[in-house]
Amino acid sequence: MAEAAPQAEDDVLYSVADHIATITINREQQRNTISGPMLDAVTERMLEADRDPAVRCIILTGKGRFFCAGLDLTSGQIGGSSAGGFSNLDLRATPPTVMHNLDTPTICALNGSAAGYGMDMALGCDIRVMADNAKLAAAFTARGVLPESGGTWLLPRLLGWEKAAELIFTGRTLTAEECRELGLVAHVVPADEVASKAAALATEIANNAPLAVQAAKRMMRMGMNETFNDHVHHVFLQLLPLFRTEDFKEGMASFLEKRPPQFKGK
C-alpha cells in the first residue's frame, strides 16, 4: 500500500511559548517548497497567532537547510497541474499578503536559503535574521514570472528604485553578507544561532506593551501611504485609547519606581 501523503498540518508546525508563536515550514525533503494546502495552513496559523492575545510576536522559520525554495511547482496542488493552471492562484489570501496586514510583529528566522515565493515571504516579515551560509534568490524573471507576492512593492521601498530594479531584472542570487549590506536583513549570524537570535529578539519585543507595539506597527504601515499631517492626526487617534489602558499606567509606574514593567495587554 502506498504511503499516505502528509497533511498540511504536518508540513506547517505551530507552537506558542512565552508570548511567542513559532510557525515552522516542515517539508525538509522538498526543500520546504510550499504546496497549495500549505499556503492555506500558513495563512491560518498567522491569523490564529494575530488573534491570540497571548501572542506578542510571531517567528516564521523553516526546518533543515532551507527556509523555503519557493512554490511547489511539481505537485499540481497550486492552481492546477497544467502548464497554464497557475492562473487560478489567488494571491490575496496567501501568506505574504496576509502578513502585511497583521498587527503582531513578525520575525523571519532565515535558517537557510530562500528563493522566489520564499524570498517574498521573508521580505514580508518585519525583521529578518539570516544564517551566514544562506542566500536569497530573486529568480523570478529567470523562471518567466515576476515577484508575485509583494516583492515588487517591498523591494523598491527597502532598496530604492535602482537597486531593486537591478535585483529583479537580473534575477540575481544574494549572499547573506550582500543582503546585510543592502539592508534586506537586520542580522546575519552563524546558522546554529539563527533560532536563538530570533527568539531573543522576539522576547525583547514581547516584553514591551503589546497594544502599544501593535499600534506602532499599524501606524508605520499607514504612514507609508499618507502625508505627514494626515499621519500625525491618525497617530493621535491611536494614542487616546492607549492612555486608558492598564499597560500605560503600568509603564508609567514602572518607570517612576525604577523596575521592569509587567504588561498584560490590557
Predicted confidence pLDDT, tens digits, the chain (266 residues)? 333 444 566 999 999 999 999 999 999 888 899 888 888 899 999 999 999 999 999 999 999 999 999 888 775 555 544 444 445 566 667 788 898 899 999 999 999 999 988 999 999 999 999 999 999 998 887 777 777 778 888 999 999 999 999 999 998 899 999 999 999 999 999 999 999 999 999 999 999 999 999 999 999 998 988 899 999 999 999 999 999 999 999 999 999 999 999 999 99
Count up the domains in the chain and report the number: 2
Give the H or E element holding residue 181.
Answer: helix 176-182
Domain holding 186: CATH number? 3.90.226.10
Same domain, 171 and 245: no
- Whether 71 and 199 map to the same domain: the answer is yes
pLDDT value at residue 5: 43
- Backbone phi, psi, residue 146, to 5°: -125, 165
d(CA 214, CA 106): 11
The pLDDT of residue 80? 47
User: Is residue 266 included in any domain, yes or no?
Assistant: no
Do 202 and 218 have their domain in common? no
Q: Dihedral sign, CA of 8, 114, 200, 126?
A: negative
Residue pointed to by grid coordinates 508570548: 19
| pLDDT given at position 166 | 93
Q: Are residues 180 and 219 in the same domain?
A: no
Rounded Cα–Cα distance for residues 252 and 266 (Å): 14
Under DSSP, the state recorded for 140 is: S
Given 168, 190, 206, the domain boundary residue is 206
Answer yes or no: do 42 and 170 share one domain.
Answer: yes
The closest alpha carbon to 124, from 147, 146, 97, belongs to 97
- Kindly state whether residues 92 and 180 are assigned to the same domain: yes
Residue showing cell 509603564: 251
Say if residue 201 is in the same domain as residue 217.
Answer: no
- The CATH number of residue 246's host domain is 1.10.12
Same domain, 87 and 151: yes
Same domain, 229 and 132: no
Whether residue 188 sits in one domain with residue 249:
no
Whether residue 128 is found in the same domain as residue 232: no
What pLDDT is stored for residue 143 in this prediction? 76
Q: Is 59 strand, coil or helix?
A: strand
Integer angstrom CA distances of residue 221 from 47, 100, 102, 125, 228: 17, 8, 10, 12, 13
In a domain, 246, yes or no: yes
Tell me phi and psi for residue 250, to 5 degrees. Answer: -65, -40
- For residue 232, what are the domain limits? 210-257
Q: Is residue 140 part of a domain?
A: yes
pLDDT value for 41: 92
Cα atoms found within 13 Å of the Cα of residue 205, Cβ hemisphere only: 25
1 inside domain: no
What is the rounded CA–CA span in Å between residue 222 and residue 151? 18
d(CA 28, CA 64): 6
Is the domain of 228 the same as that of 159?
no
Whether 171 maps to a domain, the answer reads yes
Which pLDDT belongs to residue 75?
57
**What pLDDT does 95 receive?**
83
24 belongs to a structural domain: yes
Bridging pattern class, strands 106-110 and 135-137: unpaired
